[in-house]
Structure 1
Amino acid sequence: MRVEGTHGPLSVQQSESALARKNGSAETDIFNKHLAEVEGISESPLMSGNKVTLLLDGPATYKSMYAAIRDAKNNINMESYSIENDEVGRRFADALVEKQKKGVQVNLVYDSVGSASTPEEFFKPLIDAGGHVLEFNPLNPLLLRKKWEVGRDHRKLLIVDGQVAFVGGVNISSVYSSGSFRSKPPEKGAKPWRDTHVRIEGPVVREFQKLFAATWLKQNGKPLDWASYHPPIDKKGNEIVRAIGGSPDQEHNAIYVTLLSAIDSAKTYAYVTSAYFVPDARLLAALRNAARRNVDVRLLLPNETDSNLVFYASHSYYDELLSAGVKIYEREDAMLHAKTALIDGVWSTIGSSNLDWLSFAHNQEVNAIVLGQEFGDQMKAMFDRDIASSRLITLDRWRQRPIVMRLKEFGARLLSRWI
């Protein structure tokens, strides 16, 4: 296995030493089994020398994003599925316009479906100031720059000055304005959204920048001097990180294959959080097989979602998973929107990719893979807090659900490839 640093690839001995320091648990050999298996799949290398900050929910994420935008000196690249014309959206828009007027080049990609309710006038001040704005796969055929495709740009990615990157599940919307961990429950009708993001500084930011550039070029964006978007980056911390993108252009979805390999390599536990859970046969088998070899497999899923079809399709898989020994929890006091996983305490992923067919086969997604026990401990503490606010689903009680619910599940599962 080879790891790259601030000055290029490390030697084999240096790479092995760096990974050995991150493999804090003697109970797992996930690095030996998993990393070698996925090395030929991902186009992005493992990068050392990074600092990763875990961001829980919208308020913490937005605060860190605003600070990075405020301090921008050269350029800002932003790619988001949903940018809403609300208080949060307008605050971001104002901040971007202000930086553009000060000579910081702003390049923005938003998805035509995810931001369908946002009028074109919302982006006009940024365009008038000199910012570049791209609508990904426009629904309006008159605006198409290429052949129309089914897939959407589901990424949530912000890169500032080529030095800091933000990756995760948080869109730009006021629904994230309140945190999900509170001392007292929210008022009726004010259920907060629970999501996870990360702030990353260090050499791996170059790899996230490449993913943004690929989207920009694919959508025929205005020519940019990409060399200036890849400045030298010094070591910022001790984390080993891989930037990994998913796209329908790929022969194999790198995010999906990487997660499957990690679950297949799990030896102690596999904790998976997903806002939309509509697995294929391979992922179902990986989860069931892990549980049957005495891996503690836990799924954290939403108690309610903004898609009834996904909700019932997800439920249609519960019986077979519970029967195999997989533990399923549903977050009750918040709208769960996070997409994370933690394997054996040393392999973590945070990103935009759900466990459904849209993410696997049709959408553009982006995740960060973080190796190491120190960051894994933070992920586990976060997962434990979510579990404390969740309800455990038991097989006996699940099989007592009404026949009407079963019929809805059956119907939704028939449509699982398209939701």
Structure 2
Amino acid sequence: MAGLSPLRVLDAVSAVRPLLRKAVLGAVATTVVVPTSVAAGLTAVDMVKRKGRKARPAERPGLFTATVGDSKLTIFTCGEDLYDDMIREIDAAERSIKLETFIWKGDRTGQRFLEACNRAAERGVDVWISYDGFANMVVPKSFYAQFSDKVKVYRLPAFARPYWRGIVRHTGFNHSKILVVDERVGYIGGFNIGDYCAHRWRDTHVKEVGPAVWGLEHSISTVWNSAHGPDEQMEWFPPGSWDQRVTVSSNLPVQLVYPIRGTYLNAIERARSHIRISTPYFIPDQQVLAALKAASRRGVDVQVMVPKDSNHIVADWASRGFTAEMLEAGITVLLYRAGMIHAKTATIDGEWSTVGTANIDRLSLGYNYETNLEVVDPDFAARMEEIFASDRAHCEAVDPHRWRERHKGSQVIEALIAPLRPLL
């Protein structure tokens, strides 16, 4: 504006200001107000519909075992069987119990675990409990007040975090679901603690007896120790061996590390023949999506299984926005219709597998505390592929032609929800 008088400069700024304000308000409406309003409307409609739905028992592909190096692995696909096994190990504990979960309901299943932990503490076992405060806001505090004074309990605060120490390091939900008993046996997978998981959701969990227990315990202790003083620390113990066929990857915001996304990308980019993924919420970032599409285009048989109707309708609509480009790339999209499938698993080329707590979405891969077991072994992969095939029998594959011809209203909703993807 060289050569202009100050008055003309002020006039120019005054003229532009309303346009800038309008542009900013339009951007806010497009990226925040409209998507949020649509999400609220979808959620309200879904809540009404759910009231009339009859709950169905979960499908149960079975119980599977494999021995991988120094690790003995058991794959659970039934909540009741898993919980019975976990309670038996808790009741047999002699030294320590470390239990971390995202959701711990105050129902019959939750009560069973609470009482088992109390019994162990009363007989002298060191018991540490960690659970997420935000995920359990609807559970009465009187339920958790039943824990024995001898049980050490940490509720990750829903909001009261020391953000001034570093916003990234002190955010994230504790989405891990881990149990470690006597530094000997560990459990990891998608099952939370509650009746609905025991009976109505299809999920997958792994029990490991072997060196990977160290990684599971390390994931729990890192979260616990970061929130407690020197007199309340969990002690370090040595790993059983350096066997790398079964390893643990943990997203730990407090350490600014998020390795699970990297393990997925590395495995997908190595794929030569087939990829089988099961996830309840598929909202990938562009790099993960691009890797899957590139794999399919080079001839890899890529199949992604998601619920036909999950427990989060907004996540469903956000996920559907990726379906068209996945189908165009030759990826098979499978909709599990037998209920809610909550399993977070993948197997590639009949050799590499993962089972854990991380969904393929932005929250899990770049925000939350998450833990996945990674296994490189053909026998374990074969068991995982058996489970996938069993689940696929309850799926419908999305037809590319019918998807292209879907209702225009659905396409509009997908577009309006798209700005929320980075938050899901």
TM-score (ref. length: structure 2): 0.79
Q: Does 1:113 align with 2:137?
A: no
Structure 2: state its 5+ residue gaps.
1-67
Q: Give, in angstroms, the shift of residue 411 of structure 1.
A: 1.6
Q: CA RMSD in A?
A: 2.3
Change (3 A) 1:417 1:351: same
Residue 178 (structure 2) aligns with: 157
Residue 287 (structure 2) aligns with: 282
Q: Does 1:388 align with 2:408?
A: no
Residue 365 (structure 1) aligns with: 370
1:206 to 195, 214, 231: 214
Change (3 A) 1:112 1:303: same
Q: Would the aligned equivalents of 1:58 and 1:177 in 2 still touch at CA under 8 Å?
A: yes
Q: Give, in angstroms, the shift of residue 252 of structure 1.
A: 5.4
Q: Give, in angstroms, the shift of residue 97 of structure 1.
A: 0.7
2 CA distance for matches of 1:334 and 1:145?
42
Change (3 A) 1:397 1:361: same
Residue 356 (structure 2) aligns with: 351
Residue 29 (structure 1) aligns with: none
Q: Give, in angstroms, the shift of residue 204 of structure 1.
A: 1.6
Q: Superposed, which structure 2 residues align to 1:259-274 within 5 Å?
A: 259-274=264-279
**1:253-307 Cα distance to aligned partner (Å, 9 max, x none):** 2000111110000001010111111011101111100001110100001101121
Q: Give, in angstroms, the shift of residue 119 of structure 1.
A: 2.3
Residue 405 (structure 2) aligns with: 400
Residue 131 (structure 1) aligns with: 151
Q: Give, in angstroms, the shift of residue 150 of structure 1.
A: 3.5
Q: Does 1:94 align with 2:130?
A: no
Q: Give, in angstroms, the shift of residue 247 of structure 1.
A: 2.5
Q: Superposed, which structure 2 residues align to 1:22-171 within 5 Å?
A: 48-128=69-149, 130-139=150-159, 149-171=170-192
Q: Would the aligned equivalents of 1:162 and 1:231 in 2 still touch at CA under 8 Å?
A: no
Q: Would the aligned equivalents of 2:296 and 2:302 in 1 still touch at CA under 8 Å?
A: yes
1 CA distance for matches of 2:82 and 2:233?
29
Change (3 A) 1:292 1:250: farther
Q: Would the aligned equivalents of 1:68 and 1:160 in 2 still touch at CA under 8 Å?
A: yes
Number of positions where the alignment pairs a residue of Structure 1 with one of Structure 2:
355
Change (3 A) 1:165 1:70: same
Q: Secondary structure at the match of 2:117?
A: helix
**1:82-104 Cα distance to aligned partner (Å, 9 max, x none):** 00111110111011111111111
Residue 313 (structure 1) aligns with: 318
Q: Give, in angstroms, the shift of residue 122 of structure 1.
A: 1.6
Change (3 A) 1:232 1:319: closer
Q: Secondary structure at the match of 2:191?
A: coil
Change (3 A) 1:146 1:84: farther
TM-score (ref. length: structure 1): 0.80
**1:159-205 Cα distance to aligned partner (Å, 9 max, x none):** 00100110000000110222xxxxxxxxxxxxx21100000001121
Q: Superposed, which structure 2 residues align to 1:401-416 within 5 Å?
A: 401-416=406-421
Structure in which a larger fraction of residues adopt helix: 2
**1:362-410 Cα distance to aligned partner (Å, 9 max, x none):** 1000000011111111000000001011001011011121112111111
2 CA distance for matches of 1:320 and 1:401?
15
Which structure has the larger Rg over C-alpha atoms?
Answer: 2
Q: Superposed, which structure 2 residues align to 1:230-309 within 5 Å?
A: 230=237, 233=240, 240-249=245-254, 253-309=258-314
Q: Would the aligned equivalents of 1:132 and 1:222 in 2 still touch at CA under 8 Å?
A: no
2 CA distance for matches of 1:307 and 1:232?
39
Change (3 A) 1:146 1:59: farther
Q: Give, in angstroms, the shift of residue 328 of structure 1.
A: 0.6
Q: Would the aligned equivalents of 2:272 and 2:349 in 1 still touch at CA under 8 Å?
A: yes
Q: Give, in angstroms, the shift of residue 360 of structure 1.
A: 1.5
Residue 201 (structure 2) aligns with: 193
Change (3 A) 1:407 1:232: closer
Q: Give, in angstroms, the shift of residue 413 of structure 1.
A: 1.3
Change (3 A) 1:101 1:138: same
Q: Would the aligned equivalents of 1:100 and 1:126 in 2 still touch at CA under 8 Å?
A: no
Residue 342 (structure 1) aligns with: 347
Change (3 A) 1:53 1:132: same
Identity over aligned pairs, percent: 31
**Which amino acid letter does the alignment assign opposite residue 135 of structure 1?**
R
1 CA distance for matches of 2:364 and 2:380?
25
Structure 1: state its 5+ residue gaps.
1-46, 179-191
